[in-house]
Structure formats: C-alpha cells, structure tokens
Amino acid sequence: MQISGAQMVIEALIAEGVDTVFGYPGGAIMNVYDEIYKQDKFQHILTRHEQAAVHAAEGYSKASGKVGVAMITSGPGFTNAVTGLADAYMDSIPLVVISGQVPMSLIGTDAFQEIDAVGISRSCTKHNYLVTDAADLPRILKEAFYIAASGRPGPVHVDIPKDVTAQIAEFDYSKPVHLETYKPHTKGNPRQIKKAIEAIANAKRPLFYLGGGVINANAAYEVRDLVHKTGIPAVETFMARGTLSYDDDLLVGMLGMHGSYAANMAASETDLIISLGARFDDRVTGKLSEFAKNAGVVHVDIDPASISKLVHADYPIVGDVKNVVNEMLAMVDKIDAGKYESWRETIHNFNELHPLTYHEDSDRLKPQWVIERVGQLIGDDANISTDVGQHQMWTAQFYPFTRPRQFISSGGLGTMGFGFPAAMGVKAADKERVSVNFTGDGSILMNCQELMTAVEKKLPVINIILNNNFLGMVRQWQTLFYDKRHSETDLSVQPDFVKLAEAFGGIGYRVRTKEEFDAALKDAVEKNVVAFIEVIVERFENVLPMVPAGGSLFNMMLLEKKESK
C-alpha cells in the first residue's frame, strides 16, 4: 500500500507488536506524532524530558524482555536522549529510538534544531540509520528491531528527516531481514562445549560466574538447573542479580567491588571460572592480573568480541547462553556433584568469617535495614529499580531477589536519574507488581519532573529516598581516600520532598523510625499513587565490603567487627 513515511512508522510499530512508546514531540517528528494521534493500537506515554523517555523504555525492556521504543525530536530533543542511548548500549538493552531530523534540504546548513544525530549516536548504539527515502523505511525499521533484539542486544537509532516522513511510498513489511554482514552465532561449538564439561568434571574448585547476559538471554531458569545438577557454587555480577534466588544454598553472593567477602574469596581461590554471559568488567575483576589467577576460564558469550577481551579464555564458546547451557545440561551426568563438598564447605567458612551484614548502632535508620524491610514486606511482589550511588549497591547487596528481571538498574554507565523513569517503564510493562525505586537525595532530583508523567499516566511508582544529605558514594571515596575533604558533596540544602511530591499530585512521607517507615510503605502501596518516601538515614554509612579501585578482590575493606544485627 502507498502511505506516508510517518504512517509507515506507525504500521511498523504495530507489526512489531509494540504496545507502549515513550516520547516527547517536536517540530521534526510532528508528522509521526500526528499519526500517533490517529491510532489506537499502542499507548504513548509523554515523559517530561527526553532522557527520561529513553530510560523509561529501558525499564520497560528490562522488565518485559521486549524491545523498548522511544521517540524524540531533533536537536536538543536528541542530545537529551543520548545519555539513555549510552546507558542502554553499556547494559545491552534492546531499544529502537526514533528521532526526527530537519528536512533533507537543510541538513548541513546549521538549520534550526539541526544536529548530526547519526554522528553523535554512532559510538553509543549497536547500529544507526539516517533515512533518506521513505521507500527504505519498511526495511530499515524491520532491521532496527531485528538488530536490537538479536545477538548481543542493544539500542538502534533511526533518524528520519521531516520531509521523508511526508513522502509517499510503498509499504511492504513482509520481506524477511537479510543482512549479509550481520549473522549472530547462537549455537555453541559442540566440541568446545564438550571440552568445557570435561574441564568442569576435572576441576576441584569450580565456580559459576553469572553475568547480565544470562538475564538478557532469558536463560536464568536453565542456569539454575545447571547449577543445581552440578552442585557448583555460583557468584552473580551486579547485572545478574535474581538469576538465582537469594535463598539458594549454592548462591555465594554478588562479586566485585562491593561484592561479599565469600564471593570475592571464592573467585580468588577457584581453579576454574565458568563465565556465563559476563564480560569481566573492571568493577567485577578488580586488578586483572590478580583475578582468579590460578584458574582456568570457560567463557560463554553471544558476542565474539567479548571473548578473551580482558581475561584469556581457555575454553571459549561463542553462542547464546540459553542454547549453550541446554547443551551443557545434556552432558552433566559426567560431573560428580559430590566431589565439590569440601569446596562448598570452604566457601561456607568464608561467609561465616565475614558475613554480609551491618551494624545497627545509630540513632538514625540504617539504609540497609530499609532495603531489607521492603523485601520482608513486599518481596517477590515488587519489581526493584534503583538510581546510582550507595543506595544502588546496598540494594544489590541486601534485597532478597527471587527471580530474573526483578532488579532494574544502570550498570555500565552508572547513570544518576535512571531509576524513577525506569521504574515507570517497569510499571508500564508489569502492571500487577509494585514498582519500587530506591534512590538517593542526589539522584532523585535529576529526573524528578517525571512525577508529572507518573501522575498523568497513573504509574504508581514508590520512590524510597534514602536521604543522607550527601552525594553518598562520592562522599565515601572522599572520606576513605581524600582525607575527608568533602568537596561539593554536602547536600544539606534540599527541597521539602514531601511537598514536592504533593505539588505534582502525588503523595509524600517523611520517616525517621522503623514504625513510621512500615506505616508509610503500607499506605503508599494501598493508595496506589506515585509516592516519595523520604527516609532520614545515617549520614556517614559506608558501602562495605569495598575493593579499592585497581585493587585485588582478596584485599577488601571490611566492616569492623563488633556486635552486629
């Protein structure tokens, strides 16, 4: 059929099964927004900032496993969205971000709201397009969704000049995607898988190292089977939280800079790392030359560029984690789970020596208690998002995650302001569960305008603001490594968060005691509207354990031993 470029965008979204689009209109994308007005196949959620639109699409994607979609205009509309693109690129989140562009005749003339969007997005997208002919739009949009979701997922940017959205051309969305130079390798090499299984069977102290790729591949439950059938302990990266349930006996804990003592020591003492969907990030490995230096390495990843990029893989396997794990499951009868009993006991002793805990010796609430308490009161019925900072690490450490896609956070880029809009996207994807955003008094102000979006679109996110009147993580580093020179991190001058929430039509609470917190959380859940729960917490609490930057995992700064909770 002959339709306009703008209509093609709508028809492509419908054909891809898109049910939610996040965005913000403007001049260059106006033709597409006119077509959005005319349709009723998907909902559009108007955010109050383009960065928030992309973060919301990220949250939607992380919670649902689908491709998230955001739509923005040219110039500042696009530049505002770049942070979200970079965040999604670092965390391998499948997105299609469609931007308007000035008409073809004005490109290169420094026209009003012109920016080289494709040039800017090249380094922070999996792929990008500048559409110069409406006849190419069906193919490009279909390719965009395919590229975003296949192989190692990531964001794809499609930039469409305004005159192209007005052009009339043939729309045929039935043609299959054919990309000669892009063919993701999803099946692992059978010989390499066999060698890996033999190495596991011969190891005395093997350790599963689970990364975010397990979540992205929807392989968590297959990985659970593999862990249980082999009896091999497992550590999770920050991005893999929820792969194993928090109460799984074989889960050692989170690995890395703020990982548990037992997890970091296990990684230091293992003789075989079995890495599934992880990229050996610096926040996980610490000093590379000391990371698991006496261990062989099995590395399974969909992205061949990640294999041996940082740590040499003795048993490299390129393939989709889910496919490879299923192949491994067919061979695990060769592995004697009983032979690892002493290794499991060693790890148990590590945990007994320095358990993940905190001291309740303050007049103010401890942030760790708040996070644990939400887990006790809501638990599996909550999806948990975070901003970035101390509260993020405490959440990863202390929340009782029971399932994959329960934890939504900014990993690689570490984006303050991510949590609230992401939690809105999570709520749009999963309307039945409570959407909770743990945030700090620094992070929440970076996208607090989304209170208006949440009120208008009835997205009842509960934002728990752990207020220590500091940029907490930077303050922690200044305390530990800069002789307590707290340069520009004191946030003692802050708005009234209760009134701020109420000004937008939400509900606000300020709590100082455990009883007040319980009452506020219960009320917020029952009222089912967007909420700020400001919790006045201990100002100088540190996130521990901590591996100093560039240090070895086995050299951790630990909580001083005294009477603990």
Q: Where are the beta strands (DSSP E) in 380-506?
A: 382-386, 407-408, 434-440, 462-467
Burial class (CB in 10 A: 0-12, 13-18, 19+), 430: middle
Cα 477 vs. chain centroid, distance in angstroms? 24
Cα 234 vs. chain centroid, distance in angstroms? 20
Q: Which of 39, 41, 112, 293 is catalytic?
A: 112
Q: Which of 8, 393, 473, 546 is catalytic?
A: 473
Helix (H) or strand (E) holding 101: strand 95-101
Distances (CA, A) of 338 to 205, 206, 208, 325, 345: 12, 13, 16, 21, 12
Q: Which of 42, 66, 104, 113 is catalytic?
A: 113
Q: Which of 11, 35, 50, 143 is catalytic?
A: 50
Q: Clarify whether 126 is annotated catalytic.
A: no
For residues 166 and 530, what is the distance between their CA atoms, to the nearest angstrom?
A: 39
Q: Clarify whether 494 is annotated catalytic.
A: no
Q: How many residues does the chain have?
A: 565
Tokens for 162, please give them.
Answer: 């305004």
Q: Clarify whether 162 is annotated catalytic.
A: yes
Give percent helix, percent strand, percent coil of the chain, each to the nearest 5: 45, 20, 40
Q: Clarify whether 114 is annotated catalytic.
A: no
Tokens for 93, please give them.
Answer: 């989140």
Q: What is the DSSP string of 525-543?
A: HHHTS-EEEEEEB-TT---
Q: Clarify whether 290 is annotated catalytic.
A: no
Q: Which of 62, 126, 142, 162 is catalytic?
A: 162
For residues 390 and 379, what is the distance between their CA atoms, to the nearest angstrom?
A: 21
Q: Do residues 542 and 558 lie in contact, with contact meaning Cβ atoms separated by under 8 Å?
A: no
Tokens for 435, please give them.
Answer: 């959407």
* Cross-strand pairs, 169: 3
Q: Which conformational region is residue 111 in: left (phi greater than 0), alpha (psi within -120 to 50 degrees), or beta?
A: beta
- Residues belonging to the active site: 50, 112-113, 162, 473
